Amino acid sequence: MATIIFYQKPGCATNARQIQALKSAGPDVIAQDILKEPWDGEELRRFFGHMPVGSWLNRAAARIKSGEVNPDTIDTESALALMVGDPLLIRRLLIDIGGARFAGLDHESALSLLGRKTQENLEGCLHEANLTRCPQT
């Protein structure tokens, strides 16, 4: 079975739930700190494939919620520059499965590892659902 590199925000309850779901399915999961990763724009771009630019961003991030960054009007270069400079803006989860990179669990390759056809709300922020605050969104 494949080894999955999972880029997480340490302390994120949603990421912990996602990692557990992946581990339960059998593959080895290596968790990396998304905040400490030395991101390069082109490398980061590979995770998003044909996704619209606005969906690359973490809509729960404080800078997006405050209106400082608008994911609906941002262009590719600006989005990459912002995410490289502030990894809290990167949509999670980011996974690398044998060199194939994905953002989110809505991709067939990621879901097949889980033995599922749907993501079963593994991406929803637990803090938002419970009306609590994440220490570093």
Q: What is the DSSP secondary structure assignment for residue 54, as one 8-state letter?
A: G
CA nearest 35: which of 83, 76, 77? 83
Contact 126, 17 (CB under 8 A): yes
**Structure tokens, 101:** 């990179």
27, two tokens: 């593959």
Catalytic residues, which ones?
12
Please count the residues of the chain.
Answer: 137
Dihedral class, residue 120 (left if φ above 0, else alpha if ψ from -120 to 50, else beta): left
87 φ/ψ angles, rounded to the nearest 5 degrees? -60, -15
